[in-house]
Structure 1
Amino acid sequence: MYSVFLVEDEIVIRDGLKASFPWEQYGFAYVGDAADGEMALPLIRQTKPDVLITDIRMPFMDGIALSKMIKKELPNTRIIIISGFDDFSYAQEAISIGVDNYLLKPITKDKLKEVMADAKAKLDKENEKDNYLEQFKAESQEYEQFARVRFFNQLVSGAMSVSEVYEKSEELGLSLDATNYNLVLLDFSPMTEVATAPVYSKYMARLSEQLMQFLKCCPEYIVFHWNMDTYAIIVKGDTETIASHTTTLVENIQRRCMVYEDEINWYLAESGPISRFSEFAKACQIANKRLSCRYMNPTGHVFTDADIETIRNNNEESDTATIDQRLVMLFLENAEESEIQGFLGNLINKQTKNAMKSVLFSKYFAMTMYMCVCDYLRKLSLDPVTALEANTRASIENVEPETVMEMVEKMFAIAISKRKNVVGTQSRSQLSAAIKYVDEHYSDSNLSLNEVAKEVNISPSYLSAMFSRENKTTFVEYMTAKRMEHAKKMLLTTGEKSQVIAEQVGYKDPHYFSYIFKKTYGLSPKEFRAKGQGA
């Protein structure tokens, strides 16, 4: 039901219209009235009516002045002006500011019915358009969009100024308007020893959908599909609410993930509150280091500094310094380059207190890491000598405690990059199969990212990320483009009605089809057909 507000200085007319017209019968709730524009303005600002009916000549502030202010502040409000004067100049000025109707007193009940029915029809049409826009946004909202991932990477790398952060976030429709933030990393690494893209899992698909639905409903969270198996969630709040918002998020994630405890792996870490955009880079490092504890404890879930401290304390009094190579291989199989420093820091924490100060241990550490990397590269069917830098093996003999970490970081970065190349080659083949499937089934109104992912046996989130990265377009955008292309051909080469064409290109709702078509080509299907036929 829509709302209506009446401004009329003659009390008899005002009370008469309020009491005698069946507002609710015509879809309107009568939310208030006033005797002049000055008294009406604060009430209108408060009630925000869908329709304003106002007399044109009133003391203090007349209907024209009031209408101008309302059109500026509430541009979607429909305005109907009434007057006892048949004055064309008033009508002209009213029309010029966007008033919907201009009526003369006395107003008959039938005429008011006609005008209100017209106002309701216009509001219905606007709402339908808004609903279609929301539907389109919902369908197009893929957190793996290339632009969003690039923005997040720039944010956590500190590559943008404050003004650039605001500008780019506004372009992407991301509201970064809080005084405090927290960064939460949520990872679903399968912790396998197979260098392939994550396969389709109905449990993971179901969980992802549930998580995204929850996050989309909460304006205090902004989510990005950051890496292959990792989501980054920015929590927004102020000094008083940031902790509770973070707790609510973690509890919701934990509750949903525990349902699929036997089918998936999940790991979470947060950075802690920050108040400046420039602190996101440090926040990401902190969250990454905490999250990298999952390679030391693959059965854990939520990691904090306490886990890092536990790793350190468990070995503080040990007299031996050994490296668990299984942990290293697990890391190389599943990690991202951004996690290298955090993982190595935690790995070093497992050594004796003074181990890294020893030249002998530094050489042992470097050689052990070198052997792990070589073994892993061979698993990828790559020659370690060719894959690594030419002097890597020889450099180990001269390594010092001050340089050993930099050397190992380089080796790890090469190994992870090579793994991504191998996985990428396989994934591009799956992407091609996915595109072919869309090309052949776009007319199916039930076609979805999840269905296509299942068909090519790849996780939906990874497929969506591949679509964005390789094609610079999202899955929904690609599918929509195929549908619109075929619809355009049918409009030009057949006499089928728009409703029939909508069904044949995958749309159950012909009105929504027309909305998407006009959004794509700037013309309605009817206008496009007429123009194409030279009409």
Structure 2
Amino acid sequence: MKAIIIDDEKHVRDGLLLLGEWDRFGIHEIFEAKDGEEAKTLILEQRPEIIFTDMNMPKLDGIQLLKWLHDKEINSKTIVVSGYDDFHYMRNAITYGSFDYILKPIEPDVLNETLERATKEWKKQALMRESTLENTRVMNEIKPLYWDHLFTGIMNKPTIPSDAKEKIQKEFGINITEVQCTITLLSINSIISRYFEGDKDLAFFSTLNICNEIVWSNRNGFCFRNVNKEDEIVILLWTHKNQFDLLEKVQISISKYCHIKLTMAVGKPSQQLHETYQSALQTMLKYNIVEANKKKIVSYQDISSSPLLHILDYTQEIMWALQSGSIEQMDDVLNRIFHSLQSTHILSFEQIQVWENQFELLRKNWLKEYNINEQISQYNGKDYWKDDGSFSYEKFKEEKRKEFHELIHSLYKVKYQKEKNSIQEIESFLRNNYERDIPLQEIADRFYLSREYISRKFKAEYNETITNYLTNIRIEKAKELLENPHLKVYEISFKVGYQNEKYFSKVFKKAVGLTPNEYRVSMMSK
């Protein structure tokens, strides 16, 4: 995109150049003019999409320039930048179609917010100007939302209200209750995410424009947005001559525009609109996505019944893999599921929905069991598509693995922390009860853990057996007590959990290298 800045003051032009986030809005060429007369030549030569102009300029001022732009029917978005909060200027700006009017000194936020709106508006209008058919422009500019809602409403009802039938008759010249119709569905999710970077309204507007240029221009039917779905376009045909050729033309035109080839799901013809819609919906849900990469227009006749795979049937194996914390074990389970899916089932949108719903149920149950907050962001892998819109089985498997891998990491992290906390509590219990014998079974009963598990985890955490760790605690405590000359060795022996003074002395010497009395003497001589 191009822009031009028209102002007789250079510092104002420099300020706009500095403050505007031009690259963000796709503006890569910016021209300058010091008055309206100089600007006219540049505008005719360069055809900038965005025009910034001052109002008070020599030779040809802003009002005269706006009038000239209006008379020449130049479609640029004109933004007036003026130091005058003057009704006369504002009225003329409105009269001659200025997009907005902002005051000096210029605030960066105001400038860029205005620039963003102007570029978006220009892009939308540029798409509309490309259409050569007046009827298409009327449908997309004046009544799109109305017809989206009306058609969405009647295709979900067994009978069509008389007022809706009359409106369709008047607008389209067709008695919708007396003709056999066919509904074709296409999901534009890949177009929304890949080509329009999440801008749903622009994606629907552009795609419907393409569809209706082909379908409505020949009065074969009408294309509209299903307002009850996030990404669904409905192609309603009431003329069946060369129906698949027509759909193929739509498909090719969309592919040329955004380099994405969408699959179309064709329902069974019927005089009942809701019947052909339900048939198309079943086609969309049940067709083989992998096979559709070869055949991009699928009909209700192409649908074959196939049992659905339920990952809930693998709950026990999944549970063991999750509890093990092993990615390899989980991948083994998933590989068996994927093999079954490929060999004995059809991968359809319905199958994907079943998988996603059951996985979410499993995940919620496991998060709840481990007391993990469900609000914590969890990976939802749904990017199964190549850049051209075709389904990738490899990407599907990769996304599903990522979900399970993240779940393993989440659960194992909590499990590890719980185990660590339990062992730390056992260590604290030893420190508080070192003066008595503590059987391992007592610890196991107290903490509801097996003796084998406690022994293994304690040594892993503290690099010592529980017996040796308890001995070290007693020796350290004995050292403290030996610093008190008034305590007898046998008294200290009892205080640190040894009922036999000789045994205590033997253990102490083995650990310290000195007998208790020798240690006391050495401490007193320091």
Q: TM-score range by the shorter chain?
A: 0.3 to 0.5
Task: Kindly name which structure, 1 or 2, has the bigger radius of gyration based on alpha carbons.
Answer: 2
Larger relative contact order, structure 1 or 2 (CA cutoff 8 Å, min sep 6): 1
Normalising by the residue count of structure 1, what TM-score does the alignment of the two structures yield?
Answer: 0.33
Normalising by the residue count of structure 2, what TM-score does the alignment of the two structures yield?
Answer: 0.34
